[in-house]
Amino acid sequence: MPAFIPLLVLALFCSSPSTPPSASRDCRTNETAIVVDARTHQLHLCAGGKVERTFAVALGTRGVGKQREGDNRTPLGHYGLGPPRASQNFHIFVPVQYPTPAQARLGFTGGAIGIHGPPRGWSLAALGSLVAQDWTAGCIAVATDADIEAVADWIRKHGVKDVRLEV
């Protein structure tokens, strides 16, 4: 693989969040929530049915459709969010309330799923290899501390309590 490809991937993933020119199909009418499109690896901050900001994300190493603890998959569905909190491992961690009570009744297991920043202790060069593919144990990870700070600030500002994860 040419040497410039990892740098290009890093530049695309770590670039500033973009604001789409119009309302996204990912936001529902009048919805204020976080919407994660697993197909495009994008996290949208939706306010009043319009995307305010979009961030590139990494997901679980084994894709989506979490059902079991340790399966390294990111869950799909509509979940509550806990308040953003400091994290020794990821700067800021926003808990995702997986599994739902209905999923738990179906036998879904696991926990400690959240939206977070990059892992502590990784150099920018090491992060370049991480962002080229999904690397989490099932969480949703943005690229930089500034990104997760922006997401956490937006959650607090809008009082957001929901996230939708879909394909």
pLDDT, one tens digit per residue, over 18-50 is 444 343 468 999 999 999 999 999 999 999 999
Is pTM beyond 0.85 here? no
pLDDT, one tens digit per residue, over 95-131 is 999 999 999 999 999 999 999 999 987 655 455 555 5
Q: What pLDDT shows up at residue 147?
A: 95
Lookup: tokens for 69: 């603890």
CATH code, domain with 87: 2.40.440.10
Q: How many domains does the chain have?
A: 1
Q: What pLDDT shows up at residue 133?
A: 77
Domain that holds residue 154: 4-166
